[in-house]
Amino acid sequence: MKIIFAFPLLLFVLMAGSVAAQELPPVFDDSYQAQKDSRIRQYLSPKRIVWMSDRSGATVTDAQHLLRPGIGQADLVHENFARLISKEGEMPGILFDFGKEIQGGIQIVTDQPANQKPIRVRIRLGESVSEAMSEIDTIHGATNDHAMRDFTIQVPWLGVMQVGNSGFRFARIDLVDADRELQLKEVRAIFEYRDIPYLGSFKSNDERLNQIWNTGAYTVHLNMQEFLWDGIKRDRLVWVGDMHPEVMTINTVFGKNEVVAKSLDHARDITPLPGWMNGISAYSMWWVLIHRDLYKNQGDLEYLRKQQKYLVGLLDQLMEKTKDNKENLDGTRFLDWPSSENPKGIHAGLHAMMIMTLEAGAELCLVLDEPAQAARCKTMATQMKMYVPDANGSKQAAALMALAGLIPAERANSEVIAVGDCERFSTFYGYYMLQAKAKARDYTGALNCIRNYWGGMLDMGATTFWEDFDLAWTKNAAPIDELVPDGKDDIHGDFGAYCYKKLRHSLCHGWASGPTSWLTEHVLGISVVEPGCKTIRVQPNLGDLQWVEGTYPTPLGVVKVRHEKQANGTVKSTIDAPKGVKVLR
């Protein structure tokens, strides 16, 4: 069978080869300590010019030269450059579109004007056109939080300047100094990322689902910097709850990667017990659940043993935070932002999470030769299931309660999650809502929510998935890759809430990647049965799809599958598994 793979990496650039690790040059003695960067960088020329302050040729000329492929080198030929000329109080500027969200900065190559003093330029990076065109004020929410995206620098004449460290797709450059001429030979984006192969893939007869799978994978890839971040503009931090859907995507797309263990260990090391990771009790529970799912996929017992002491202590701490077999957690009580004003829903969700965590902890303790602790965790989880809290209409809580076995998944889906279809979905907990719908065998409903909710971001110009999203925002909104015309809403600048109001809103958030791993697990039908993928199960659920094919990385190699729906409604499957991987049907 011939398999067609979907490798979405970057889509618009060719991947550079891996850069070999190098030792320090011999001129450095042993007193120097250096940390090697695990990333590489590429330079991207703009795809288009979105806006110029002047199209008459008076203050901006020959801007089309900046769309030519660059090489990053000034020269003495003095040809093919653009001019920005400030005069009579006019400060010219240009807005560039690099075609796709990236993490990195900007490179500026200049030519040789008559006045050869350094010249000031203002650089504004934006995840949307409106953000790149914004001012930092209290009206539209644009900030320099966590990453500088609006700043003024000096550039040399006949030289190269590289600056910036943020998440962006658009960049605006303005001349700041009066009565000066800026000769721009090149403006390129500096793209920093891990040069890793996309071992997992997904392709079906529905191109929208294919694009959603690819976009989720790319969103997480961008957040795999030196640590696994939640967002590349903000917060650029290791938020452990955010990591769970990210790690599930990494398992699905990339397989084992150092950034996962590095980030999990960082969270552990800066959070001595009895502290809660990130100050949030649920996030310490996510740490346990991540380790269960990571061990299930990778089977790395040596790494798991390094967590043993902390894990056992954390499980003790969790079991102490119960009262009358109900969760009684302290710290910040949080599921996700959209559910944060529903305390009854938060209680129900935390209660369900506690059960899930204790059951996962019991699994890990058996692996780690801690039978007494495993038994305690199992007993406590069983006792806690005797109490069934009210989800209070929270789709987040209902999803967790279904996954914890507190209520039938069919009931959670029909009475709460499926009400209003994708209404009150969230980008983070949408993954668990999809998981609950799968447990209820509502695959068609789940696929439609993926198409409509996550696809709704694509319709608004997204190339990565966002921190939060509501389909209601789109009714009268312009997409992120356009100047917002009069009478239209700004999808980025007019919406958002809590910590992500208006332009502060992150448009690349790894916790929103849930459909990527969900489509592989439930539509391709690949699930792990034995740690290290020594045994997997392949049970596809095509819903309304005619065919689907793809790959899944395991420690023993890549599994390849293809499923085709036959005229009689049955599904014909072709499975190619590497040696050492047992396949159950």
Confidence of residue 3 (pLDDT cuts 50, 70, 90): very low
Count of alpha carbons within 13 Å of 111, Cβ hemisphere only?
A: 19
CATH level 2 (architecture), domain 43-193: Sandwich (2.60)
pLDDT at 565: 97
Mean pLDDT calculated for residue range 279-297: 98
Reference 143, options 238, 236, 234, 237; nearest CA is 234
Mean pLDDT calculated for residue range 502-515: 98
Residue 98, pLDDT above cutoff 90: yes
Residue 451, pLDDT above cutoff 80: yes
pLDDT at 36: 86
- What is the helix (H) or strand (E) element at residue 536, kind and residue range? strand 535-538
Residue 18, pLDDT above cutoff 60: no
Q: Where are the domains of the chain?
A: 43-193
State pLDDT tens for residues 161-182.
Answer: 999 999 999 999 999 999 999 9
Confidence of residue 19 (pLDDT cuts 50, 70, 90): very low
- What is the helix (H) or strand (E) element at residue 170, kind and residue range? strand 160-175
Which residues are paired to 549 by β-bridges?
Answer: 203, 562
Residue 134, pLDDT above cutoff 80: yes
Q: In terms of residues, how long is the chain?
A: 585
Q: Considering the chain, what percentage of its residues have pLDDT values greater than 70? A: 96
State pLDDT tens for residues 206-260.
Answer: 999 999 999 999 999 999 999 999 999 999 999 999 999 999 999 999 999 999 9
Q: CA 304, 315, 220: angle at the middle one, nearest 5? A: 55
State pLDDT tens for residues 332-391.
Answer: 999 999 999 999 999 999 999 999 999 999 999 999 999 999 999 999 999 999 999 999
Parallel/antiparallel/unpaired status of strands 489-490 and 477-478: parallel
